Structure 1
């Protein structure tokens, strides 16, 4: 097998293909045990399958790769250019914007040199045309992104893109609400992180592109559903930036820990983030007992603000009621999120038949303990 470091391989989420995590298909975790390792080695014949050890390689050879390997070798002779040459950033953007990728993504192409607060935008239309770099849609779509004339495909694509971009605009809005958006170094903790956030990892660069003073972004994924790391948890892994950000010596890095957040915060050496993010946890409606210690920590002990989002208003009100009984303080006490996704989805759990919900439809921000010195 050829040894090749996997440290710089982008995380792609935990989607499954024929019972194999997509991370393994992408060479980010072992194809056999599905765990991380500082170095993964690939099959020298097909060059498509990665392993953390010879033990895992031998086990997988017997279980399935003996039959799969010849097929992959044959597949490598087809479309050689696309199989072996990585896409450039320009190719990636072009393909995602024309719908060739698994979902449309429309991040800001070029980093901004001047800071335009997200709070100055009233809608997604304003974000696309005034804050991002999609001014070409002005006059082609209405303020609610509905098509004008023959622009239905553009309208559908931009609306669909909000389902993923809303993660990052909600984070930026929370940074602005907590007066953190102009910091040169920002650390984010994603509480209860899972495949959804991991699958959107590349789009965290939108924070670098919209916050020109941000030089170093470190994101820590913390959650019991995350894959365990063979090399040891909390290890920081550098991630690629676009050529413009790289030229400006801006950096992104990732760490990942498989546990509940209150357990993570109790570890020796724990460092509080600038902002914690808890996306659509459902902590007041599902797995209440398992979430209770983390929510109690975030409400009573955390020395940082935490932004929460929910699918619907009922879920938000239930969570707010529980947090208030714990004595939580709020920066945003609960409201409809301006940066929710725009694509409606049917909610079978709602009382009204055929009611709909939106990604991150409501939000609130828990203040955390005041660590400023007494006057």
Structure 2
């Protein structure tokens, strides 16, 4: 359980010096402890507001009601950031606008990161298959939030998402009727979204009769490097070698730039060679909800950075430019 993990990841010690004598500690409203010497620590003061938000959101018993927020506006320009996307696709009530934007950013960061990756790779077709490796139950449960990709990618008509991971349930969904719940648009009436879930390791799935060739493979916040910290057994080697065998573009996200670079180093070790990435950038479509980072004791954000590989080549120098024509020109009534 998450609260059990937190007992070990965030022990009750001073945020600065890790003093563990409870008589010398006081609790801050943000959820961290400070000793008497460091109760006015400048680094803590800088982070306190964000840590408080992370703490409050983690203590919410149930998520806020987001129904009725979808009010598509007739925007034609592709959003350059998560903030622009939220302002274009949703109409908020002032009372809960900030909270709703936080929640929606984390719900839509995965599909928008997919759009960002395929745009950079110029990898868009009318029918696409995506593999999401190391998938979580949350990712599967929020599959409906992939709907906006049909508005954002001009050529895309049919999308199949295959979630693969040992901790999910095996299911199949066909969501072509799902779109009737949204404001009318010819683009949506023609779109089809299919979802498959397979409770397997990725290499097992690829060797099975269930396998469907993907256009791109996605790994969200996999934290590959944590296997070196003794956090868990390393089960990624066979998966990474399978990615090399498939020779399909791979996008890997992380909660911070430091974590992204550590994941890249770990991926190279698992491959047994040093490889170049196509790009490593701050993701303009990362989530807004702050989370405590046990490695730095500061903050991370879902999908904050993204590494894109166009094959695991030792000396890959190619560059691909995105094109404005790949984005939708769809007026919503």
* CA distance in structure 2 between the aligned counterparts of 1:128 and 1:288, rounded to whole angstroms: 38
Match of 2:178, SS state, is coil
Equivalent of residue 247 in structure 2, options 297, 303, 316: 303
* CA distance in structure 2 between the aligned counterparts of 1:301 and 1:184, rounded to whole angstroms: 25
Evaluate the alpha carbon distance shift between residue 155 and residue 101 of structure 1 in structure 2; reply closer, same or farther with a 3 A threshold: closer
Q: What displacement does 1:203 show? A: 0.9
Q: Give a deviation string over 1:196-225, Cα, whole Å, max 9, x none.
A: 211211111121222232111111111111
Q: What residue number does 1:179 align with?
A: 122
Q: Aligned ranges for residues 354-369 of structure 1 at < 5 Å?
A: 355-368=298-311
Match status 1:170 vs 2:113: yes
* CA distance in structure 2 between the aligned counterparts of 1:272 and 1:112, rounded to whole angstroms: 35
Residues 245 and 251, structure 1, Cα contact 8 Å, conserved in 2:
no
Deviates more, 1:169-178 or 1:284-293: 284-293
- What is the TM-score normalised by the length of structure 1? 0.57
Residues 64 and 100, structure 2, Cα contact 8 Å, conserved in 1:
no
Evaluate the alpha carbon distance shift between residue 211 and residue 124 of structure 1 in structure 2; reply closer, same or farther with a 3 A threshold: same
Match of 2:306, SS state, is strand
Match of 1:254, SS state, is strand
Q: What residue number does 2:83 align with?
A: 125
Q: Aligned ranges for residues 311-350 of structure 1 at < 5 Å?
A: 311-325=255-269, 326=271, 327=273, 328-332=275-279, 334-347=280-293, 349-350=294-295
Q: What displacement does 1:301 show? A: 1.4
Evaluate the alpha carbon distance shift between residue 204 and residue 224 of structure 1 in structure 2; reply closer, same or farther with a 3 A threshold: same
* CA distance in structure 1 between the aligned counterparts of 2:67 and 2:268, rounded to whole angstroms: 37
* CA distance in structure 2 between the aligned counterparts of 1:296 and 1:245, rounded to whole angstroms: 42
Q: What residue number does 1:96 align with?
A: none
Q: What displacement does 1:345 show? A: 2.1
Q: What displacement does 1:265 show? A: 1.4
Match status 1:259 vs 2:193: no
Evaluate the alpha carbon distance shift between residue 257 and residue 276 of structure 1 in structure 2; reply closer, same or farther with a 3 A threshold: same
Q: Give a deviation string over 1:294-338, Cα, whole Å, max 9, x none.
A: 02222x212211111112233212211123343444222x23222
Match status 1:277 vs 2:223: no
Q: Give a deviation string over 1:93-147, Cα, whole Å, max 9, x none.
A: xxxxxxx975547986559796x445xx1x3332234xx334x67xx9xxxxxxx
Q: What residue number does 2:158 align with?
A: 216
Q: Give a deviation string over 1:234-271, Cα, whole Å, max 9, x none.
A: xx531233123687332111112111112211224633
Q: What residue number does 1:238 align with?
A: 174
Q: What displacement does 1:155 show? A: 2.6
- What is the TM-score normalised by the length of structure 2? 0.63
Residues 179 and 189, structure 2, Cα contact 8 Å, conserved in 1:
no
* CA distance in structure 2 between the aligned counterparts of 1:106 and 1:161, rounded to whole angstroms: 13
Q: Give a deviation string over 1:344-366, Cα, whole Å, max 9, x none.
A: 2222x1334xx111111121012
Evaluate the alpha carbon distance shift between residue 124 and residue 351 of structure 1 in structure 2; reply closer, same or farther with a 3 A threshold: closer
Evaluate the alpha carbon distance shift between residue 309 and residue 108 of structure 1 in structure 2; reply closer, same or farther with a 3 A threshold: farther
Q: What displacement does 1:189 show? A: 0.7
Q: What residue number does 1:205 align with?
A: 147
Gaps of 5+ in 2: 1-61, 314-333
CA RMSD across the alignment: 3.0
* CA distance in structure 1 between the aligned counterparts of 2:144 and 2:129, rounded to whole angstroms: 16
Evaluate the alpha carbon distance shift between residue 152 and residue 113 of structure 1 in structure 2; reply closer, same or farther with a 3 A threshold: closer
Match of 1:186, SS state, is strand
